[in-house]
């Protein structure tokens, strides 16, 4: 019974905690910029979502059923990821990473379609940029998971998590005699960090705090949503950020502890990653759109280096 209930409780907890992570990032960024905010501002996303859910949706007259269905498809796609990622409990189904890639792609695809379907210039601009960024990140994401699959001889997400965490539990051992064999992990960590910047819309070209034409990608699509449609889309994006952070923390920040401390430690890791994201945003200058692709090619390069190192070490051994 508990094996069935644990993944459900995990998914519900992560869905509820996703707005708090977004609020933490907003609050910490305001504090780093010298703008005074009460710590209760962390819970402001909950108030915003509640107010938006109480507001009726307003849709363009030119929009079709695609625009109406997009918030629900987007939310369902990202929310489903919270139940299949092995964080506190093993998932009910054996999911491989190919499914995860397609689910993330589905979210961006339907959101881009909604931007084009609205018939607005800003929506078309945002939809085109979404698909352009997705093309850049999909290659790196596939190679990242391919490197993990090659290292552990499996595409099962749960088994990859378990096997990958075992070597990081013994970090001193890695830094000594086994460092040469696991050196590719560093490249994989950098690769996933850059993928998170793409997927979470935290690129230098994009400012998630504004709706200005020259700095927005995904925000341009969100201009057409209102009411509970907007609440579903914004909540879905918070959930995706939580999933990406969870993916990074479980792969590259695992700590072998007793089960009763899993949730507090997980919370600390999420807050730490949020702080690192804010510090990167504040120190990174804005970059022209034509130069953003270099981040994507860096992701591909690091994943390929990790694959080459894995193959070379296997041949030597």
Q: 4: exposed, middle or buried (C-beta count within 10 Å: 0-12, 13-18, 19+)? A: exposed
| pLDDT given at position 312 | 73
| pLDDT given at position 151 | 76
Task: Categorize the per-residue pLDDT at 3 as very low, low, confident or very high, splitting at 50, 70 and 90.
Answer: low
Mean pLDDT value of segment 276-305: 76
**pLDDT over 70 at 77, yes or no:** yes
- Three-state DSSP at 96 gives strand
**pLDDT over 70 at 12, yes or no:** yes
Mean pLDDT value of segment 247-258: 69
For 27-50, the pLDDT digits (tens) are 888 888 777 777 787 888 898 888
| pLDDT given at position 264 | 79
In this structure, what are the phi and psi dihedrals at residue 51, rounded to the nearest 5 degrees? -65, -40
| pLDDT given at position 11 | 80
Give alpha helix (H) positions in the chain: 2-32, 44-53, 65-84, 97-117, 121-152, 157-169, 171-174, 184-199, 218-222, 228-252, 262-283, 293-316
In this structure, what are the phi and psi dihedrals at residue 96, rounded to the nearest 5 degrees? -100, 165
| pLDDT given at position 166 | 63
Q: Domain range spanning residue 133?
A: 2-316
Number of domains in the chain: 1
For 167-184, the pLDDT digits (tens) are 555 544 444 445 445 666
| pLDDT given at position 287 | 66
For 140-160, the pLDDT digits (tens) are 788 888 887 777 777 777 777
Q: What residue has token string 């209930």?
A: 5
> Model-level pTM?
0.84
For 79-126, the pLDDT digits (tens) are 888 888 777 767 666 677 788 888 888 888 888 787 777 777 666 676
C-alpha span between 270 and 151 (Å, rounded): 26
Torsion angle, alpha carbons of 96, 97, 102, 106, to 10:
100
For 197-214, the pLDDT digits (tens) are 877 777 666 555 555 555
- Three-state DSSP at 104 gives helix
DSSP structural state of residue 182? S
| pLDDT given at position 175 | 45
Mean pLDDT value of segment 249-262: 65
| pLDDT given at position 217 | 61
Q: What is the mean pLDDT of the chain?
A: 76
Torsion angle, alpha carbons of 307, 300, 109, 10, to 10:
50
Highest mean pLDDT among 115-119, 191-195, 285-289, 291-295: 191-195
| pLDDT given at position 168 | 57
Q: What residue has token string 């193959």?
A: 311
- 136's CB contacts (< 8 A; 6+ apart) are 198, 292, 293, 295, 296
| pLDDT given at position 213 | 53
Among residues 204, 197, 170, 198, which one has the least CA distance to residue 185?
170
Mean pLDDT value of segment 7-12: 80
Mean pLDDT value of segment 285-298: 71
| pLDDT given at position 4 | 67
Q: For 31-55, give one letter per residue: b (16+ CB within 10 A) or e.
A: eeeeeeeeeebbebbeebbeebeee
| pLDDT given at position 177 | 43
**pLDDT over 70 at 255, yes or no:** no
**pLDDT over 60 at 251, yes or no:** yes
């Amino acid at each position: 019974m508990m094996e069935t209930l644990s993944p459900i409780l995990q998914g519900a907890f992560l869905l509820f905690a996703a707005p708090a992570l977004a609020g933490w990032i907003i609050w910490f960024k305001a504090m780093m910029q010298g703008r005074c905010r009460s710590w209760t501002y962390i819970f402001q996303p909950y108030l915003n979502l509640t107010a938006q859910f109480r507001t009726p949706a307003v849709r363009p007259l030119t929009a079709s059923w695609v625009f109406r269905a997009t918030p629900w498809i987007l939310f369902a796609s990202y929310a489903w990821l919270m139940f299949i990622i092995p964080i506190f409990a093993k998932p009910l189904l054996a999911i491989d990473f190919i499914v995860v890639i397609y689910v993330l792609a589905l979210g961006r695809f339907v959101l881009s379609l909604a931007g084009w379907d609205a018939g607005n210039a800003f929506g078309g601009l945002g939809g085109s940029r979404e698909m352009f960024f997705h093309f850049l990140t999909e290659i790196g994401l596939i190679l990242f998971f391919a490197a993990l699959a090659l290292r552990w001889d499996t595409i099962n997400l749960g088994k990859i998590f378990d096997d990958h965490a075992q070597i990081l539990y013994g970090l001193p051992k890695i830094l000594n005699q086994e460092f040469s064999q696991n050196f590719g992990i560093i490249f994989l960590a950098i690769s996933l960090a850059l993928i998170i910047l793409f997927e979470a819309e935290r690129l230098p070209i994009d400012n998630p705090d504004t709706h200005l034409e020259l700095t927005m990608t995904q925000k341009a699509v969100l201009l057409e949503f209102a009411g509970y449609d907007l609440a579903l889309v914004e909540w879905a994006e918070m959930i995706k950020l939580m999933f990406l952070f969870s993916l990074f923390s479980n792969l590259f920040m695992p700590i072998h502890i007793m089960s009763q401390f899993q949730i507090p430690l997980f919370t600390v890791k999420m807050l730490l990653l949020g702080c690192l994201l804010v510090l990167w945003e504040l120190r990174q200058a804005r970059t022209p759109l034509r130069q953003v692709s270099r981040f994507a090619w860096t992701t591909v390069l690091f994943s390929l280096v990790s694959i080459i190192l894995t193959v070379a070490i296997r041949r030597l051994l």
